[in-house]
Amino acid sequence: MGEKNPQEHANELFKQERWEDAVTAYRQAIEADAGVYWSHYNLGQALAKLNRWEEAALAYQRGLQISPAEVWAHYHLGRALSELKRWEEATTAYRLAIEIDADKFWSHYHLGQALSELRRWEEAVDAYRQAIKVDPDKFWSHYHLGRALSELQRWEEAATSYRFAIQIDAGVFWSHYHLGHALLELRRWEEAITAYRQAVQINAGLFWPHFELGQALVELQRWEEAVDACQQAIQIESDKFWPYFRLGQSLIELERWEEAVVALRQARLIDPTSFWTPYNLGRALAELKRWDESAVAYQQAIELKSDWYLPFCNLAQVFEHLGRSQEAIMSYRTGITLEPENPDCRERLGRLFLTLGRLQEAAEVYGQLINMISSAELLVTLADAMSEIGQVDIAIPAYCRAMEIDAGIPLIYNRLGALLEQVDRADDALMIYKQAVAISVGDEETHQRFESLQIKMSVEG
């Protein structure tokens, strides 16, 4: 029997998975005859088995110089170039493979991979869709299509792709996780929660599914479950700001103030630049009546964001509890300057002036409030306060506006009528009493006043 030719010998070594020996044998075959395509192609294959990608790419390229229409040589050249992270060249190789034979799944799939590495997401989407068209039953093409669509923020299509991937293989953590994220972006909270819970069942040891599950639960105001999710995230990675912040937020909603303080203090240690952390911390400390600490927290919030009225308004309330009235007044005034159309700071400042006996200043503040308040009850309170200190020019319009907002509150008619009588506006008082009787909202006292005033005016007339 004659000796095997070098090509046959190399093929035997390749079949035996003796890769180094096969490389040597293929090179000997090429020395004997450099014009044989298969020697170069198989040399590339052996070198690829050894992860010697530069040499493999060169071998495929030399084979293609001899026979440029070989689909697998183009494909494997693309694979070698991908391993070398030479993505542009890899895409060229995959496209040439597709030109020769468009029915090869892997050419389309790996083209999508290379385009994804280049962040050319639209082209990647097209490549993955072509791969799915060739073979719709491959998990990874659906999954990576979802990833490319996610990068394009095409969340509905991404969610559909992840669902297809899950139908093929429900045991892959990442498809459930990324489905959850797409649904989170779509604000479909219940579905997102289901997806994240599936992800956690497969792998409970990763931070992000627990954290994002917590986010979805916060959106649905399912505070107890949100607390559990945030705590799970913190157990896995204890150095991230957001789970502590969301935990504090949820604990505030549950009125678990002490725990909220602990969580928010930790969030502030991790990231001292967030305005909302000291603001919420101030709220929790105020609920605990730890006024000095609450004041410090609100002041820290103001240092970070000095253009919003609410921390000034809340800080002023804390100053009131601390007996620091002048600082409270200054803080209320700053809040009013920042949000002149919001009645909160004005109403509280007015009450503070009343408490301090500074009646003229209280009257000025309440006078500004009348047309800003949309609550009839609050207007009645304001009017009562002004009536008590003799500021009838403010009290009367306040009662009238309260009546415009809600004509069904009996005491408005009684008090407004009495006040009008007091300032000798009997005709106006009679009209108010008559209106109350006509629409059946007056109480017994209003009816008595109406009848009494009618008799009085009849006698005087």
* Paired tokens of 456: 């009085």
Angle at 72 between CA 69 and CA 74, to 5 degrees: 65
Q: Do residues 75 and 93 touch, judged by C-beta distance below 8 A?
A: yes
Among 220, 13, 241, 420, CA closest to 230: 241
DSSP per-residue letters across 49-105: HTT-HHHHHHHHHHHHHH-TT-HHHHHHHHHHHHHTT-HHHHHHHHHHHHHH-TT-H
* Paired tokens of 432: 């108010």
pLDDT value for 447: 67
- Which residues, 6+ apart, have CB-to-CB distance to 5 below 8 Å? 29, 32
Q: Do residues 71 and 100 touch, judged by C-beta distance below 8 A?
A: yes
DSSP per-residue letters across 227-255: HHHHHHHHHH-TT-HHHHHHHHHHHHHTT
The rounded distance, in Å, linking the Cα atoms of 52 and 80 is 9
The structure tokens 């997102």 sit at 192
Question: What amino acid is encoded at 372 in this protein?
Answer: M
Question: For residues 136-160, b (16+ Cβ closer than 10 Å) or e, as one string?
Answer: eebbbbbbbbbbbbbeeebbebbbb
pLDDT means per 10 residues, the chain with 461 residues, are 74 95 95 94 97 98 97 98 98 98 97 98 98 97 98 98 98 98 98 98 97 97 98 98 98 98 98 97 98 98 96 97 97 95 89 88 82 82 84 87 86 86 86 78 66 69 58
Q: Do residues 161 and 139 touch, judged by C-beta distance below 8 A?
A: no
DSSP per-residue letters across 290-343: -HHHHHHHHHHHHHH--S-HHHHHHHHHHHHHTT-HHHHHHHHHHHHHH-TT-H
pLDDT value for 367: 81
pTM here? 0.80
Q: Do residues 329 and 337 touch, judged by C-beta distance below 8 A?
A: no
pLDDT value for 426: 85
Q: Do residues 118 and 88 touch, judged by C-beta distance below 8 A?
A: yes
Among 97, 69, 67, CA closest to 82: 97
The rounded distance, in Å, linking the Cα atoms of 415 and 451 is 16
**Number of Cα atoms under 13 Å in the Cβ half of residue 153:** 1
* Paired tokens of 305: 């964001």
pLDDT value for 443: 61
